[in-house]
Amino acid sequence: MATRRKSVRTQAATKNRSSNSGRRRPAAESNPEFERYCRATFDPRAAFGKPEALKGMRVLSCSQYILGPSCAAYLGELGAEVIKIEAPRRGEPMRHSTPGNEAFLYPLSRWVPGSGTGLGFFGANFNEYFISLDFHRPEARELMCRLAAKADVVVENFRPGTFDRWGIGYRQLREINPRLIYMWLGGFGGWGPGRVRASYDILGQAQGGAFSITGQPEEAGGAPSKHTIWLADYWGGMMGALQVLTALYWRDNVSGEGTFLEYSQVHGVTRQLEYSLPLYGREGVIRERWGNWDTELCVHGIIKCGRPSYPRSDNPQEEEEGYILVSAYEDVDFGMLCRAVGHAQLARLYKTHDIRVRPESQKEIYAALEAWAKDKTKEQVARILDQAGIIVQPVWNAKEVANHPHWQQRGSIFWLDDPTYGDVLSQGPAYKMSATPPRVKWAFKPVGADNEFIYSKLCGLSKAEMEKLEAEEVI
């Protein structure tokens, strides 16, 4: 395979990594005092007693699906007042997109009480206030201008130029609020040959280049593989939030004025291609798929175990064989691995990493590892290799992650007592902050749940005015 071309520089780089190797340190080097300090400093139970970093910032989220909503939700986790604006009655499409005919949270709205919101909506709309507004109506666009006059940030991911055509884009809103930061996220950007195309996560990954190197190689009967989760959307939302935070700093510390921000989902995917582009530019080599192994390190991949972890389970999802990550790419670690699995001859045959990482070498090495694991569960393999000092990690499913004490103790997974929907198993923010920790206050709300609160507070609408606008389906 052309993509496996290596040079002496590769081995040199591998040797340089040895001082920072992931090899497990002896217990004597652990620091229990530091662990106690971190546990107390980042205790998730204390989060709600601490201030919020973005408290006082107001964000209007005119977004749908995952890319735009996740950007706004990340800001909401940090304390910003995020106001989600949806179409009246049935809300944005993501409420109805996933999962197909499975669990829903009721109600969808007070206008459609017999329908619920699919759990695919979950995770990208934390901590938001929910109002409804039909942007196609002139009365609605006038309300949008009144809301933007009192906002710090607008996040939207309609097709490029749509809000501008409606008279509520950045060019118009900055005349109302010169300090407004306007974050647009979309597929290809607001200019260039691809600007008119709509985009979704799957399209962004296809055109951005990610799918071409994801999946099993062609010689193994494989094809490009789609990620089951929407990585481009959630990653792009975080990049958008980073842009917003940067613009807020610039406004409040340098310029005093707002700015127009743009994020291209396709370019964001291309940003993740690591060495693929320089490899092509320098050598003309097009990087290919390499399955569950690694193109740069060996052994550093996932092997199949022959026995399921739950052989007596009634759940067919638990009847399949397990998988486990094995990482032993340093020469010393590889020798330990070979001895642990009874293949000491492989350590003699593949003495150096530059030899091991070749495609023909990886095929033999991984085949030997899977043959050894054929009569074992992933837990049995983990115990054996862990005792031998090898870095391993069973591939866990949602059930195994949800029930692991590490996630529970750190507040990364918890039962959220949602004010509307009751107990919901939720994932929390993936990062910690000692003084101003992020937090999840509620999952989401029905469509238009906060109409009265927001429109009376920010637009001064009376109850009668709101009832009239609701009857006319403006809100």
Contact 10, 357 (CB under 8 A): yes
Contact 238, 123 (CB under 8 A): no
pLDDT at 8: 31
* Tokens 């637009």 -> residue: 459
- The string over 1-22, giving b where at least 16 C-beta atoms fall within 10 Å of a residue's C-beta and e elsewhere, is bebbeeeeeeeeebeeeeeeee
Fold designation for 291-402: formyl-coa transferase, domain 3 (3.30.1540)
pLDDT at 98: 67
Q: In this structure, what token pair is assigned to residue 65?
A: 């699906």
pLDDT at 412: 93
CA 345 to chain centre: 42
- Vertex 85: Cα angle to 104 and 411 (nearest 5): 55
pLDDT at 188: 87
Contact 269, 209 (CB under 8 A): yes
What's the predicted TM-score (pTM) here?
Answer: 0.90
pLDDT at 24: 52
- Per-domain boundaries in the chain: 54-271+412-471, 291-402
Provide the residue type at 369 as one letter: L
Q: In this structure, what token pair is assigned to residue 474?
A: 């403006």
- In the CATH hierarchy, which top-level class contains the domain 54-271+412-471? alpha beta
Provide the residue type at 259 as one letter: T
Question: Residues in the chain with pLDDT < 50?
Answer: 1-22, 25-28
